[in-house]
Amino acid sequence: MRAKAVILTLLIISFIIPSVSAEKPLVVASISPLAEIVKEVFGDSVEVVYIVPPGADPHQYQLTPEQIELIKRASVVVTVNGHLPAEQKMKQLKEEGTISAAVLFAENYAKYGFRFLPERWYNNKNNPHGVWLDPYNALAIAKATAEALSERYPQKRELYEKQYEKFETKVLAIVEAYKALAENATAVIEMPSQQYALEWLGVKAVASIKPEAEVPAKSVDEMLEVTKTVDFIAYSSKSPESLKSAAIELSRRAGKPLADITTTWIDKPYTEILIKNSKAVIGALNQKMSAVQQTAKMESLNEVYILLALVVGISLGMAVGVLIKK
C-alpha cells in the first residue's frame, strides 16, 4: 500500500510540475543581432534573450547581478567572439563553474567556417566587430548553437538539425543571388563592423573613417584622397552624428555614392538584414556605374560639339575667304 501511495504521489506531481526536458531551452545572446540569428533558426523551440540593451555601448557594458542570475539558468550562451566586457565576464563565470551553460566563442564557431577579416587600415589585426554580418559567419554561429543545444537535449537533435538546415538553405540562396554582382569593387567604410557586410560580396574595404573602437575618427581631409579611388562609401544612417556627417561630406566631396549598412537591429530576421545590406551595396555600385556612363556620354557629346565647332569654324573661314577674294 505504501509503495502504491508513493507511485500515485509521483504521478500526480508529474502532471502538476512540468519536467525540465519539456521546458524551452534558454539561449542567452550577448547582443541583439546574435539573438535574431538564434530566433530565426530555432523559432519557438527555444527562448531567446540578449544582454546588452538597445542604445548601450557594448564595448563598455557590464553584466548586472540580475543578468548573471539569468545566465545561470541558460542552456546555451552565444557571444560575438569573447572580446566584449560582458562576454569576458561570462567566460570568467564559466571557468569558475558559476554557470553550467555551454558558452560559445570564436573557437567554437571556427570548426564550422567562421573567419576574421584583417583590418587593413589598422595594422592588419583581426577585426572583431560585426562578424555576424558575414553570412558564412552567421551560419557558423547558428551551427555551433544547434550542436550545443543537441548535446544538451539529445532527444531534440533531429529537430535542431532540421531547423539549422532550413536556415542554411535560405542564407545560401541569398548568397547565390547577390555574390556575383559586386566582385572586384572597393569601398571606404565608416566603421570596422561594416567590413563584414561587404567582403563576402567581393568588395574590398580599403580604409575606415574610424579605424578602431578606441581610436579617434579621421577627418574628411585625411580620408579624401583614398575615397576618390574607391567605388563607394559604406556608412550607417543610425551611426553617431559626427561619423555619419563625415561619410556624407566625403561622398559629396569625392563624388562617391553611399551604401547604408545596418549593423545592429532588433526584432527583424537576420536574412531580412542580409538582403537589405546586399541591396544597399548593389544600389551604390549601380549609382556609380550610372555616373560613369553619364560622364562618358557627356565626354562623347563634348567631342561631337568640338568636331562640329571645328567644321563650322572651317566652313566659316572658307566662306569669309571666298568673300574677301570677291
> What pLDDT band is residue 309 in, cutting at 50, 70 and 90?
very low
CATH architecture classification, 22-179: 3-Layer(aba) Sandwich (3.40)
Mean pLDDT of the chain: 86
**pLDDT digits over 70-85, tens only?**
999 999 999 998 889 9
How far is C-alpha 68 from the chain's CA centre?
Answer: 27
- Beta-ladder partners of 208: 189
Weakest-pLDDT range from 1-5, 20-24, 105-109, 118-122: 1-5
In the predicted structure, residue 274 carries a pLDDT above the cut 60: yes
Which amino acid is present at 107?
A: E
pLDDT for the residue numbered 180: 81
Q: Quick one: 134 exposed, middle or buried, by C-beta within 10 A (0-12, 13-18, 19+)?
A: buried
pLDDT for the residue numbered 253: 98
What does the pLDDT average to over 101-108? Answer: 96
227 vs 315, residue with greater confidence: 227
pLDDT for the residue numbered 82: 87
pLDDT for the residue numbered 290: 57
Same fold, 22-179 and 182-289: yes
DSSP per-residue letters across 262-298: ----SSS-HHHHHHHHHHHHHHHHHHHHHHHHHHHHH
pLDDT for the residue numbered 20: 35
Question: Is this model's pTM higher than 0.95 or not?
Answer: no
CATH number of 182-289: 3.40.50.1980
Domain boundaries, the chain: 22-179, 182-289
What does the pLDDT average to over 32-54? Answer: 97
Can you tell me the distance from the alpha carbon of 76 to that of 180, in angstroms, rounded to the nearest whole number? 36
Cα distances from 101 to residues 25, 78, 245, in angstroms, run 10, 10, 43
pLDDT for the residue numbered 321: 53
pLDDT for the residue numbered 132: 98
Which amino acid is present at 147?
A: E
Contacting residues for 172 by C-beta, under 8 A, at least 6 apart: 135, 139
Can you tell me the distance from the alpha carbon of 220 to that of 223, in angstroms, rounded to the nearest whole number? 5
pLDDT for the residue numbered 16: 32
In the predicted structure, residue 268 carries a pLDDT above the cut 70: yes
- Portion of the chain with pLDDT greater than 90, in percent: 77
Can you tell me the distance from the alpha carbon of 35 to that of 37, in angstroms, rounded to the nearest whole number? 5
In the predicted structure, residue 310 carries a pLDDT above the cut 90: no
**Residue 44 DSSP one-character state:** G
* 185-189/203-208 β-pairing: parallel
User: Cell for 226?
Assistant: 583614398
**pLDDT digits over 208-222, tens only?**
999 998 899 999 999
